[in-house]
């Protein structure tokens, strides 16, 4: 009986890494960063989110070796909402001088957890 419990415990533990992996952040769809001028970069991306959420203003973080950390928070727009998934397009210009060569973007869920991430080189077109 004890050995059966041990086998069941091991079987359960073997599923945990898969569950942790399933909760990792997704990659942002179509992430693109384009220089608008000497002091601004436009960031665009898409993600599948809830019908009752909206993306807030980008929050700038650290600049390390040319890579600027940028966080986009989301908020719920309704207390009660259907679980309908929709494609949400984001386009925002941020302050970023010419020392910024890459952006490291993080999208946060309304509860503050990481929903998706991505990194892109700033196009100088």
Q: How many domains does the chain have?
A: 1
Q: Is pTM, for the whole model, over 0.85?
A: no
- Do the domain assignments include residue 6? no
Chain segment 76-90, per-residue pLDDT in tens? 998 888 778 999 999
Residue 10 lies in a domain: no
Residues 11-63: pLDDT tens digits?
Answer: 444 443 433 344 577 999 999 999 999 999 999 999 998 889 999 999 999 99
Dist. CA 123–CA 125, nearest whole Å = 6
Q: Is residue 9 part of a domain?
A: no
| 2, part of any domain | no
Residue at 54 is within a domain = yes
Are 123 and 32 within 8 A, CB to CB? yes
């Amino acid at each position: 009986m004890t050995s059966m419990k041990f086998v069941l415990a091991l079987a359960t533990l073997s599923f945990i890494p898969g569950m942790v992996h399933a909760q990792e952040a997704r990659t942002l769809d179509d992430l693109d960063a384009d220089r608008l001028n000497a002091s601004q970069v436009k960031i665009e991306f898409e993600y599948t989110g809830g019908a009752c959420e909206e993306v807030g203003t980008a929050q700038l973080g650290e600049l390390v070796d040319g890579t600027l950390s940028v966080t986009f928070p989301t908020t719920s727009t309704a207390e009660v909402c259907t679980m309908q998934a929709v494609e949400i397009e984001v386009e925002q210009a941020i302050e970023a001088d010419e020392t910024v060569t890459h952006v490291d973007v993080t999208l946060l869920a309304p509860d503050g957890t990481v929903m998706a991430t991505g990194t892109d080189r700033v196009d100088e077109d």
